[in-house]
Structure 1
């Protein structure tokens, strides 16, 4: 048995429990009250609407850098300049996946590893895993979502939410995946600072997992995670107004269970990720 994740323990809290306060429930579950009280990153309603417009455009055209994104939004009636779009894309953790000028999230002090999947394409479950982070809008702000998937089967192995774009929630997802599903041969990410950090790469090295990173400007290096984000956004996030983080957590839990076990995948000959991964 693996210890329950803080995300799972948050979902056990009953705000309207007739006998136990939220603080008492947190103590019983060994959950810091501050962890339960996660709040979305607060922004103005106008800025949040613009960030959602950027996100929707990015899902359709992930090769757009700030210049093309600015032009596309202006055509849709947004009176924006490139500097503002650069700032918001940086805040959202977005960068174009095509050659050309764009804002990079790369940390110059962190080492970058070669892209390994070109010469070692995954042919079976656990040959390679991939991870990425996306922006999740809410009516009063936004959160960040990280997911780790099995490349061959598209099975979502682990995921976590955070209101900061840091390394800690990525490490929690990585630890969950390693504890529950063993070790992949290769672990692929982009060159974001969370994944190039010493803490993250050392965890992979300790597990003797080969580290792979997308080449800058290569559209298809992490394509299956990009497709996952499109599904999550259009099939869940943009169909519901999750006003509370706990509701978003429960919605994502339900969606990923559906995605893994009940949603046929065209790229898998209409099988589910769980069937291909071997868990059906």
Structure 2
């Protein structure tokens, strides 16, 4: 006879291994055809090169590549994978209508040390037979990835889990900056920030450049890892992305830091600040 408590523990363990919430484990997102999954991958790759493309321009681009697609289909798939063009436009990446939007606090701010400002964003991860969503928490000054999570839904749970891990491992920043996505404007996410005494900052709508460093992270991750691999399962994606993020933090040299890594910049700046204090 199967022990139901053992079964629940097994499911919980599986969720922990792939870093998804138990609610997400049970919920199966609406499936897409193989053609749509490939089209979503093509759209995502094209968007890395031309982030100003809306659905109309993306449709024209795809048609030149031989895809027989209409604007409505392209717009639906772009929304599904969370893409919106960088120009100021109404109703793109619309926040939840009942969630509070916070002001942008980074304008004219000199960011000169680690843990002064953290930022976060969510991106789409294509797989061989589906897709996942990835959230990352980054230190703005050093570009170090402090925590990350994968999920098969766009709810707030996996974003909150990544935030809680970052705070537990690295302390807290003065300011936390995100876009106006519903995951980041949610009560659970903003309450976690407020309870930790962190000031909340949010980008202007359509202003992807306000969070430019994490957008560059996505570009590097996708071209150096995701687009080169056709992950079969969530476990494979987690392992592959985890290896790349470890390489990015510990071994990937940044010209902006005179050839130092994000780990080195984060640790050196922290040590200098402690000695000065």
Q: TM-score w.r.t. structure 2 length?
A: 0.86
Quick one: distance in 2 between partners of 1:54 and 1:33? 31
Question: What is the RMSD computed on CA atoms of the aligned residues?
Answer: 2.3
Q: 1:57 aligns with which of 23, 41, 46?
A: 46
Q: Which residue of 2 aligns with 1:164?
A: 153
Quick one: distance in 1 between partners of 2:8 and 2:256? 42
Q: Which residue of 1 aligns with 2:126?
A: 137
Q: Which residue of 2 aligns with 1:31?
A: 12
CA contact (8 A) 1:43 1:140 kept: no
Post-superposition CA distance 1:155-198 (Å, at most 9, x none): 00000000000000000000000000000011010000000111
Alignment of 1:188 with 2:188, yes or no, is no
Q: After TM superposition, give the deviation of residue 136 of structure 1 in Å.
A: 0.3
Q: After TM superposition, give the deviation of residue 269 of structure 1 in Å.
A: 2.2
Q: 1:259 aligns with which of 244, 248, 270?
A: 248
Q: Which residue of 2 aligns with 1:152?
A: 141
Quick one: distance in 2 between partners of 1:202 and 1:46? 40
* Residues 59 and 102 of structure 1, relative CA distance in 2, 3 Å threshold: farther
List, as ranges, runs of 4+ consecutive aligned residues in structure 1 with deviation greater than 3 Å. Answer: 23-28, 32-42, 100-103
Q: 1:95 aligns to what SS in structure 2?
A: coil
Q: Which residue of 1 aligns with 2:68?
A: 79
Q: Which residue of 2 aligns with 1:202?
A: 191
CA contact (8 A) 2:84 2:206 kept: no
Aligned ranges 1:93-242 → 2 under 5 Å: 93-100=82-89, 103-242=92-231
Quick one: distance in 1 between partners of 2:258 and 2:8? 44
CA contact (8 A) 2:179 2:203 kept: yes
Q: Which residue of 2 aligns with 1:249?
A: 238
Q: Which moved more, 1:54-63 or 1:173-182?
A: 54-63
Higher helix share: 2
CA contact (8 A) 2:92 2:205 kept: no
Q: After TM superposition, give the deviation of residue 73 of structure 1 in Å.
A: 1.5
* Structure 1: gaps (5+ residues): 1-22
* Residues 24 and 199 of structure 1, relative CA distance in 2, 3 Å threshold: closer
CA contact (8 A) 2:137 2:166 kept: yes
* Residues 154 and 243 of structure 1, relative CA distance in 2, 3 Å threshold: same
Quick one: distance in 2 between partners of 1:185 and 1:33? 34
CA contact (8 A) 2:146 2:170 kept: yes
Post-superposition CA distance 1:38-90 (Å, at most 9, x none): 59854221001100011001111112222222222122222111111111111
Q: TM-score w.r.t. structure 1 length?
A: 0.85
CA contact (8 A) 1:86 1:103 kept: no
Quick one: distance in 1 between partners of 2:9 and 2:186? 32
* Residues 24 and 253 of structure 1, relative CA distance in 2, 3 Å threshold: farther
CA contact (8 A) 1:127 1:185 kept: yes
